Structure 1
């Protein structure tokens, strides 16, 4: 899954999103909820000394001002509709930022 495909998928949720981070200036003008997504390392499938399938790890971080069960369910439905196997690995209050984070991890 390429950047364009990921962003088209995230647009379906209808909230602001950025790759890696929002700038401090952007955060002054944007209200929660927001999404930050990041592609970290790969987890490719190898055989016979070559890469048979490229597999990219994708993290989607949903930030809200309060726990938003409905928005999380909408995001999960979008991931399901795109055939993405996901796992929510965190759902916690970030005291220093005064916001909730729901972290979804997957491979694409």
Structure 2
């Protein structure tokens, strides 16, 4: 799967989506989604990569705990195995729900 295809799946949530971040002072109102490549987990043998795999983090930002928004993201990610963590960003007064997937 290409990153553009992942972006299209995330856009099905109806939330604004950006790679890594929105431009400074141009972030839309919450909720919104950012996604980024955090690494790779390639399969290699004999010094050759046979199968590439990107590790991707998808970040949902919400003002409060929003189970409906989380469900929308999880439906968009239904074809992936994902892990989820949650944190509160004091400086921004918002929640970050982070999903980790591999493509």
Partner secondary structure for residue 26 of structure 1: coil
Partner secondary structure for residue 5 of structure 2: helix
Aligned to 1:66: 64
Partner secondary structure for residue 100 of structure 2: strand
User: Given the two structures, how large is their TM-score scaled by the length of structure 2?
Assistant: 0.93
Aligned to 2:74: 76
Structure 2: any 5+ residue segments left out of the alignment?
none
Moved over 3 A (4+): none
Equivalent pairs, count: 103
Q: Report the Cα distance in structure 1 between the residues aligned to 2:99 and 2:56, rounded to whole angstroms.
A: 8
Aligned to 1:51: 49
Q: Report the Cα distance in structure 2 between the residues aligned to 1:22 and 1:39, rounded to whole angstroms.
A: 15
Aligned to 2:99: 104
* TM-aligned CA deviation for residue 40 of structure 1: 2.0
Q: Report the Cα distance in structure 1 between the residues aligned to 2:37 and 2:13, rounded to whole angstroms.
A: 19
User: Given the two structures, how large is their TM-score scaled by the length of structure 1?
Assistant: 0.89
Greater share of helix: 1
Partner secondary structure for residue 37 of structure 1: strand
